Amino acid sequence: MSLTRRGFAALASLSLMSTVMASAWAGSPADPSPDAALQAAIAGAQRTPAFTSRDGARHPYETLRFFGIRPEMTVVELSPGGGWYTEILAPYLREKGQLILGADDPQSTNAYRQRSGQRLKEKLAAAPAVYGKVQMHVFEVPGRLQYAAPGSADLVLTFRNVHNWIEAGGEPAVAAVFRSAFEALKKGGSFGVVEHRRPAAQAQDEKASSGYVHEAYVIRVAESVGFKLAARSEVNANPKDTADHENGVWALPPTLANKDKDRERYTAIGESDRMTLRFVKP
Which pLDDT does position 142 carry in this prediction? Answer: 86
Q: What is the pLDDT of residue 4?
A: 41
- Which pLDDT belongs to residue 31? 64
Give exposure, 225-258, as e/b (b: 16+ Cβ within 10 Å): bebeebbebeebebeebebebebbbbbbbeebeb
CA neighbours closer than 13 Å in the CB half-sphere of residue 281: 23
2-53 pLDDT, tens digit per residue, is: 444 344 344 334 333 333 333 333 345 546 789 999 999 999 999 999 999 9
- CA torsion 175→160→181→125, rounded to 10°? 140
- 164-193 confidence digits (pLDDT tens): 999 999 999 999 999 999 999 999 999 999
Q: Are 83 and 104 in contact (CB under 8 A)?
A: no
Q: Which helix (H) or strand (E) holds 173?
A: helix 162-184
Output the CA torsion sign for 134, 235, 160, 213: positive
Percentage helix, strand, coil, to 5, in the chain? 40, 20, 40
Task: Encode the chain (282 residues) as per-residue pLDDT tens digits.
Answer: 344 434 434 433 433 333 333 333 334 554 678 999 999 999 999 999 999 999 999 999 999 999 999 999 999 999 999 999 999 999 999 999 999 999 999 999 999 999 999 999 999 999 999 999 999 999 999 889 999 999 999 999 999 999 999 999 999 999 999 999 999 999 999 999 999 999 999 999 999 999 999 999 999 999 999 999 999 999 999 999 999 999 999 999 999 999 999 999 999 999 999 999 999 999
Q: What is the pLDDT of residue 12?
A: 39
Amino acid in position 31: D
Supply the pTM of this predicted model. Answer: 0.89
